[in-house]
């Protein structure tokens, strides 16, 4: 084993500094049982596979039950996606058929079906469906592990205390578990800054560098690693000079942290005095209360679908009312934006809201489309929101809007529900702004018309970028294609912001770029003054805003919008950091 120092570079996915020993995990390979299966053994082999499926489902259910807090939404989505594969007849029934028809042992049948489905995924043009291959591989690995154990309890993984995980990629739920056992950082050869894994890492404040191409070839188990995820720099087997420099960086980071802790939280303002509103994305009152203490100006996005996940029955109107009321009270007079149920695509749930499998769920019955089809569920949610409006400033936000008609229809329904709630002697606020999320190109292109029917707009930049660029942020194979610094995305974003300005409608951006200080100058240059982000990003964005001049940035907007390619756009954005 080499002891020579090595330096690697990657992409910043979650900022931070970490020093630890390497925990190297290579891609799992299925050890296929090739021995012939006698006819008499087929029933037992089918039973063995079905027991492994049952074990895998139980493990996922256990994971799901343990998920809580601010990260629960993102972890629940990946867990639910894996559970759907385990219940998909195209996967499970096909494996059983291979065991029976071709007399294959369970592992051989599992691998053959996995390879078949993987080939199908690779041939699909749609990036969302193509990305499901990663989910398939995670599920196959879990079922195979259950087969290998033969019903035994899963082996308890050793503590990750003091370690930095080096791997190709890691599922968000597994990352959260490792962080609980002391993991200090993450280095991936694949993944992207916009993946679910990166979002979870940022929520955990776990330093993460992705796209570190040769990490698995260079790093060995137990090697010392200095991870500077602030700059995407990894030093393997560092020397004394490296360690001295690293300690200096740590001291500086600690000094900044303490300085921030002493500074009284104030409104975010640019150098030239422009006020910028910093809101948070949240899903429970505890996160909201913490965000309020950190100086958040409000909740720009409250994810209500959390109330509908991982349960056997629909939440009642009273149950929803209490959750929305508590969120509003927790914000103590600052506005709370409640997004109506956003289900579909990667937000699938089981139980009472089991959704039919669709050939292309990313373009299927999701968001406001789902709500307008399931009127009984939608009206119960609206009534609960209207009742909660009496406890403080509140707004209602419609997800995945694609046409003006959807906003009009929802508004009419809200008016009907308001009358019903008032007749039931529940107080309702006199004014409840209704907003539309701009997440699909169709909505962006007609945003001027939507703005005439909505009271405010919110750009969901994650989905909008995926649809515009035809690149799933969770698919490592197209990570380079999913880049918000793309002229097409920038021009479309400016169109939406400008349409909102002309219509005199408030507008915010609530995707990942809103909480990334690298994009703060760009968004200010395009005219944005309302951001909504993960609570952990508030301090960094507020500090970035304070060092920028809005007037200087706006003068460069024309250059931004006329950049011919991503390289030119990135160069302009880098220069803006000192504007």
Virtual torsion, Cα 231, 558, 538, 533, nearest 10 deg: -100
Q: Are residues 308 and 190 in the same domain?
A: no
On the question of pLDDT at 351 being above 70, the answer is no
Is 552 within the bounds of a domain?
Answer: yes
pLDDT digits (tens, 9 = 90+) for 486-507: 999 999 999 999 999 999 999 9
Q: Which residues pair with 503 in a beta bridge?
A: none
- What distance in Å separates the CA atoms of residue 307 and residue 346, rounded to the nearest whole number? 16
pLDDT at position 418 = 97
pLDDT at position 74 = 56
Is 145 within the bounds of a domain?
Answer: no
pLDDT band at 155; cut points 50, 70, 90: low
pLDDT at position 353 = 63
| Catalytic site includes residue 196 | yes
Q: Are 326 and 304 in contact (CB under 8 A)?
A: no
How high does pLDDT run on average in the chain? 86
Contacts of 71 by beta carbon, 8 Å cutoff, 6+ apart = 172, 176, 200, 203, 204
pLDDT at position 450 = 98
Q: Are residues 326 and 243 in the same domain?
A: no
Residue 426 domain boundaries: 264-576
On the question of pLDDT at 405 being above 90, the answer is yes
Among residues 176, 216, 168, 167, the alpha carbon closest in space to that of 196 is found at 176
On the question of pLDDT at 192 being above 90, the answer is no
Q: Are residues 201 and 339 in the same domain?
A: no
Q: At what angle do helices 172-180 and 72-86 cross, to 10 degrees?
A: 130
On the question of pLDDT at 34 being above 90, the answer is no
On the question of pLDDT at 127 being above 90, the answer is no
Q: Are residues 357 and 285 in the same domain?
A: yes
| Catalytic site includes residue 562 | no
Q: Where are the beta strands (DSSP E) in 313-409?
A: 336-339, 394-398
Among residues 6, 519, 549, the alpha carbon closest in space to that of 274 is found at 549
Is 534 within the bounds of a domain?
Answer: yes
196, 279, 486, 534: the catalytic one is 196
Minimum mean pLDDT range among 75-84, 173-182, 441-450: 75-84
Higher-scoring residue by pLDDT: 3, 186: 186
On the question of pLDDT at 62 being above 80, the answer is no
**pTM passes above 0.85:** no
Of 218, 235, 260, which residue sits at a domain end? 260
Higher-scoring residue by pLDDT: 259, 400: 400
pLDDT at position 57 = 84
For residue 26, the tally of other CB atoms under 10 A from its CB is 9
Q: Are residues 372 and 389 in the same domain?
A: yes
Q: Are residues 367 and 483 in the same domain?
A: yes
On the question of pLDDT at 403 being above 60, the answer is yes
pLDDT digits (tens, 9 = 90+) for 519-578: 999 999 999 999 999 888 898 899 999 999 999 999 999 999 999 999 999 999 888 887
pLDDT at position 294 = 85
What is the mean pLDDT of the segment spanning 340-347?
70
On the question of pLDDT at 263 being above 80, the answer is no
pLDDT digits (tens, 9 = 90+) for 48-60: 999 989 888 888 7
pLDDT band at 348; cut points 50, 70, 90: very low
Of 208, 242, 260, which residue sits at a domain end? 260
pLDDT at position 507 = 98
167, 188, 417, 510: the catalytic one is 510
String of DSSP letters for 20-60: EEEEEEPPP------S---GGGHHHHHHHHHHHHHHHHHHH
> The domain that contains 237 carries what CATH number?
3.50.30.10
Q: Are residues 202 and 310 in the same domain?
A: no
pLDDT at position 156 = 62
pLDDT at position 474 = 66
Of 197, 228, 260, which residue sits at a domain end? 260
Instruction: Provide the domain count of the chain.
Output: 2
pLDDT at position 130 = 45
pLDDT band at 290; cut points 50, 70, 90: confident
Q: Are residues 380 and 436 in the same domain?
A: yes
Burial class of residue 490 in the structure, from the number of CB atoms within 10 Å of its CB (0-12 exposed, 13-18 middle, 19+ buried): buried
> The domain that contains 448 carries what CATH number?
3.20.20.60
Is 340 within the bounds of a domain?
Answer: yes
Q: Are 46 and 238 in contact (CB under 8 A)?
A: no
On the question of pLDDT at 236 being above 70, the answer is yes
Q: Are residues 445 and 569 in the same domain?
A: yes
Is 90 within the bounds of a domain?
Answer: no
On the question of pLDDT at 278 being above 90, the answer is yes
Mark out the alpha helices in 67-102 (DSSP H runs). Answer: 72-86, 89-102
pLDDT at position 361 = 61
Burial class of residue 543 in the structure, from the number of CB atoms within 10 Å of its CB (0-12 exposed, 13-18 middle, 19+ buried): middle
Q: Are residues 240 and 354 in the same domain?
A: no
Is 418 within the bounds of a domain?
Answer: yes
């Amino acid at each position: 084993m080499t002891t020579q120092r090595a330096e690697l570079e990657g992409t910043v996915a979650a900022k931070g500094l970490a020093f630890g020993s390497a925990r190297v995990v290579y891609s799992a390979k299925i050890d296929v049982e090739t021995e012939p299966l006698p006819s008499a053994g087929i029933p037992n082999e089918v039973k063995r596979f079905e027991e492994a499926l049952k074990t895998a489902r139980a493990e996922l259910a256990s994971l799901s039950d343990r998920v809580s807090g601010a990260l629960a939404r993102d972890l629940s989505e990946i867990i639910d996606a894996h559970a759907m594969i385990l219940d998909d007849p195209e996967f499970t029934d096909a494996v059983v058929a291979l065991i029976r028809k071709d007399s294959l042992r369970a592992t051989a049948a599992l691998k053959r079906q996995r390879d078949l489905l993987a080939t199908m995924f690779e041939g699909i043009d749609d990036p969302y469906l193509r990305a499901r291959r990663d989910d398939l591989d995670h599920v196959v690995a879990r079922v195979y592990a259950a087969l290998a154990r033969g019903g035994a309890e899963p082996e308890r993984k050793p503590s990750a205390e003091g370690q930095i995980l080096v791997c190709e990629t890691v599922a968000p739920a597994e990352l959260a578990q490792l962080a609980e056992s002391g993991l200090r950082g993450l280095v991936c050869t694949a993944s992207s800054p916009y993946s679910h894994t990166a979002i979870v890492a940022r929520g955990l404040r776990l330093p993460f560098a992705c796209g570190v191409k040769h990490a698995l070839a260079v790093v060995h188990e137990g090697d010392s690693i200095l991870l500077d995820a602030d700059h995407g720099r990894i030093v393997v087997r560092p020397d004394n000079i490296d360690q001295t420099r690293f300690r200096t960086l740590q001291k500086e980071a600690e000094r900044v942290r303490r300085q921030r802790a002493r500074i009284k939280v104030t409104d975010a303002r640019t150098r030239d005095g422009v006020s910028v509103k910093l809101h948070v994305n949240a899903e429970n009152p505890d996160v909201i209360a913490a965000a309020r203490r950190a100086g958040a100006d409000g909740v720009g996005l409250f994810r209500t679908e959390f109330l509908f996940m991982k349960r056997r029955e629909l939440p009642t109107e009273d149950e929803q009312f209490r959750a929305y009321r508590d969120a509003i009270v927790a914000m103590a007079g600052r506005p709370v934006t409640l997004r109506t149920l956003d289900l579909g695509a990667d937000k699938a749930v089981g139980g009472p809201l089991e959704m039919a499998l669709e050939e292309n769920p990313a373009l299927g019955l999701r968001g406001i489309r789902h709500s307008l089809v399931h009127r009984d569920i939608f009206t119960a949610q609206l009534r609960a929101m209207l009742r909660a409006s009496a406890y403080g400033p509140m707004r209602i936000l419609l997800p995945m809007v694609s046409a003006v008609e959807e906003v009009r229809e929802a508004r009419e329904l809200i008016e009907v529900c308001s009358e019903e709630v008032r007749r039931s002697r529940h107080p309702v606020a006199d004014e409840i702004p209704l907003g539309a999320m701009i997440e699909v190109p169709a909505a962006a292109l007609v945003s001027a018309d939507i703005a005439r029917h909505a009271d405010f707009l919110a750009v969901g930049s994650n989905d909008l970028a995926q649809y515009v660029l035809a690149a799933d942020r969770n698919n490592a194979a197209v990570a380079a294609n999913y880049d918000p610094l793309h002229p097409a995305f920038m021009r479309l974003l400016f169109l939406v912001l400008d349409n909102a300005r002309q219509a005199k409608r408030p507008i915010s951006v609530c995707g990942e770029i809103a909480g990334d200080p690298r994009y703060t100058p760009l968004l200010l240059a395009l005219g944005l003054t309302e951001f909504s982000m993960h609570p952990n990003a508030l301090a960094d964005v507020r500090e970035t805003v304070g060092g920028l001049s809005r007037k200087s940035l706006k003068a460069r907007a024309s250059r931004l919008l006329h950049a011919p390619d991503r390289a030119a756009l990135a160069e302009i954005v880098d220069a803006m950091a000192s504007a």
